[in-house]
Structure 1
Amino acid sequence: MKDRYANLRRIRALDPRRDHVAIYQTTVRHEFPWDMRMGLNLAFIRTFSMPEVAAILVGTGELTRRTQRRLDDTGLLMYEIVVHGFDHPRGRDAIRRINQLHRPHRDVPSDEFVYVLACLAIVPMRWLDRYGWRKPCCHEREASYGFYRELGELMNIAGMPGSLAELEAWFEAYDRDRLRPDENAAAIERATRMRMVDRLPRSLAPLGNAVVSALYDPHLRAATKVGPPAWPVRAGLHLGFKARARLIRHFHRPRATALFADGIVTKSYPDGYEISRLGPPST
């Protein structure tokens, strides 16, 4: 079997402050493609569940009436940046489009945007800690922080904590104090949970709704008014993902081609898309 840890050695040879984009791309596209997509989905669900964010999203109807397309738009803008980086023309186009879409919300407090960045930087790493075929190394954690710190700078978001440790402490406090039960968050969760069901392995499809509920931590379930699944589902899910991690670690070859090497395909755009048209019409 080809060396399972070759990518990790290359990552450790890089500088996470200078090379955070390259490290993050390797983490997402080579080392943990399925897990990072799952972690990013959970991160977005968490951001959508913050009461202030949920109120805006329900008010526009973008996630409750045009769910699939708006989820695809969000994912496409994010993955265009991940795949191409900040300096590539497509990465710059995606950042430009994100800034256009956020322009009508300039009065939103900066800490709400920082929370979104914190979720994207931290939640997927915590998923890997629990269910990755290996735990992320310190370079990968620092690169995740560095990637979203730079994204925040390009979005002119103020108030990003100055280190990963500070961001984690800030995230814990903000999440504990501000993520609370909310009707709008519950409506968005009901509208978007099929996206999570679609992300599950086929073997788990018959238990889709219960499994999605088990993926949420108790705090997120409370915020979205989702009841706890039966303990056999929670226990089975945990054991199943742990077994999957062992199988990948010992029997799977490293990914030969990067995630999205042939382009990003979604249900909403089977024939391709223009970055400048992703998201609702600009106002």
Structure 2
Amino acid sequence: MRGRFDNLRRIEALDPDADHLAIHRLTLTEEFPWDMRMAFNLAFNRSFALPRVARQLVATGAILRAPRKRADDTGIIMYEILLHGTESARGKLAIRRLNGAHQGFALDNGDSIYVVAALVVIPMRWLRRYGWRRPCANEQEAAAVFYRRVGRLMGVRDLPDRYADFEAYLEQYERAHLHPTPEAAQIERTTRDLLRGRIPARLRGAADSLIGALYDEPLRAAYDVPRPPLWARAGLHTALRVRALLLRWFARPRTTPLFADGIVTKSYPDGYDLAHVGSAPTSRTATPATGTPTEPAPERSPSA
């Protein structure tokens, strides 16, 4: 289709080091908006399965008490950084909110590298399997540069340099550290409802089998989730591949970027003040774009 690969040509002409923000923003907001949000969910789910992370999350209880709000807060903060960049005033505020949300956690540096690696690698793996086109090398390297920078601003040390290094780290770390724990199983049961909401209503009766099919074998083992029946695995894979082919050959290129009207979530239907995202609710609402009170923006996207 005319124009279908214009963004790809733009991305391939950019430098993934100097232009990592522009590349990664295009990948999320124009090329693969649904796929990237789904993959971000799976990337965060993966980090929750780490034994030390799972124990701390259960001990604090926040993710168990309000999983939707925690997911919305995390999505807002990460998307704000991606939309505005780490050097902008809004991006710097989002980084402060991100660091504030992790205060009180005794984070292991190896676990922290793994969390960053999951954000780099899991979305690219999803796109290679289910995207309407495969991600190009510049998209993979831009993701590595972007999240390495975010990780450093969070105080994470010894981060890998390139995409291949992140992927190798993720695979090695999983072999050594990803194993079942009662806490991880408890988190999976709580957060499963968020993934159920992404399944079409007519398929909700098969939601648990389909969610299990979204997980790969290492993640199913870590969460102690049984392997779903063949019909669920084959059906999900076939449906996602058919969707990819339809998008590739028949869908028109997106003309309005994702989040063009702001980030609206179920937890903040009337907008939010970024300075308070992740804190106790306040009566003041704000637009994601300006930080000033506003009428609610139309819902254009679920959060991560």
Distance 1:280 1:181 in 2: 31
1:82-113 deviation per Cα after TM superposition (whole angstroms, max 9, x unaligned): 122212222111101111222323x4221111
Aligned alpha-carbon RMSD (Å): 1.3
Q: Which residue of 2 aligns with 1:61?
A: 61
1:184-207 deviation per Cα after TM superposition (whole angstroms, max 9, x unaligned): 111111111111111234454342
Correspondence list, 1:157-196, <5 A: 157-196=156-195
Q: Deviation above 6 Å: which 4+ runs of structure 1?
A: none
Identity %: 50
Q: Which residue of 1 aligns with 2:22?
A: 22
TM-score of the superposition, structure 1-length normalised?
0.95
TM-score of the superposition, structure 2-length normalised?
0.89
Q: Which residue of 1 aligns with 2:13?
A: 13
- Asked if the contact 1:118/1:171 (under 8 Å) is kept, the reply is yes
Correspondence list, 1:85-234, <5 A: 85-105=85-105, 107-234=106-233
Q: Secondary structure at the match of 2:104?
A: helix
CA shift for structure 1 position 209: 1.7
When the two structures are aligned, how many residues end up with a matched partner? 280
1:127-184 deviation per Cα after TM superposition (whole angstroms, max 9, x unaligned): 0010000000000000010110111121121010122222211111001111101111
- Asked if the contact 1:62/1:280 (under 8 Å) is kept, the reply is no
Distance 1:205 1:115 in 2: 32
Structure having greater relative contact order (Cα 8 Å, sep ≥ 6): 1
Structure 1 residue 84 corresponds to structure 2 residue 84: yes
Distance 2:254 2:202 in 1: 22
Q: Secondary structure at the match of 1:63?
A: helix
Q: Which residue of 1 aligns with 2:296?
A: none
Q: Which residue of 2 aligns with 1:50?
A: 50
Q: Which residue of 1 aligns with 2:267?
A: 268
* Between 270-279 and 221-230, the greater mean CA deviation after superposition: 270-279
Distance 1:80 1:38 in 2: 17
Distance 2:168 2:242 in 1: 31
Gaps of 5+ in 2: 281-304
1:19-51 deviation per Cα after TM superposition (whole angstroms, max 9, x unaligned): 011000000000000000011000000001111
Q: Secondary structure at the match of 2:226?
A: coil
Q: Which residue of 1 aligns with 2:234?
A: 235
Distance 2:201 2:35 in 1: 15
Gaps of 5+ in 1: none
CA shift for structure 1 position 81: 1.0
**Aligned partner of 1:17: which letter?**
D
Q: Secondary structure at the match of 1:246?
A: helix
Distance 1:28 1:209 in 2: 27
**Aligned partner of 2:162: which letter?**
S
- Asked if the contact 2:160/2:166 (under 8 Å) is kept, the reply is yes
